[in-house]
């Protein structure tokens, strides 16, 4: 099975190898874009095959399998790429693939801009 990798310019798009490395290391640094595909569809890091045209969420990454490969974009922005007011912090819920900005002094209150 041929596997190939392509890159593009989306700063929140990751190859599955990069997703795996990011998950292991806990890194939130922005990664380069990437695709992984084969002649019959796309394959994730666990070897699961996806048909062309399918869409799936993998580790809070929204992924779609196209003829160009598996393209994944982070559903949660990196704190380094979002302007967060000094009095606020980002709280991430990885189980729900969601985040919110709350006051550092009282994380039960959302930040207002």
pTM: 0.56
Q: pLDDT (tens digit, 9 = 90+) per residue, 44-103? A: 888 888 999 999 998 899 999 988 888 899 999 887 888 889 999 999 999 999 999 999
Least confident of 18-22, 29-33, 36-40, 89-93: 29-33
Beta-strand runs (E) in the chain = 4-6, 13-14, 35-37, 42-43, 49-50, 55-58, 61-66, 69-74, 88-93, 98-103
């Amino acid at each position: 099975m041929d596997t190939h990798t392509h890159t593009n310019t989306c700063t929140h798009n990751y190859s599955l190898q990069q997703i795996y490395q990011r998950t292991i290391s806990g890194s939130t640094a922005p990664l380069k874009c990437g695709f992984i595909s084969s002649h019959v569809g796309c394959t994730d890091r666990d070897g699961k095959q996806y048909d062309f045209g399918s869409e799936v969420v993998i580790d809070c990454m929204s992924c779609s399998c196209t003829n160009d490969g598996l393209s994944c974009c982070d559903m949660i922005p990196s704190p380094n790429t979002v302007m967060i007011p000094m009095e606020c912090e980002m709280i991430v819920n990885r189980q729900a693939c969601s985040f919110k900005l709350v006051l550092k002094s009282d994380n039960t209150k959302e930040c207002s801009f």
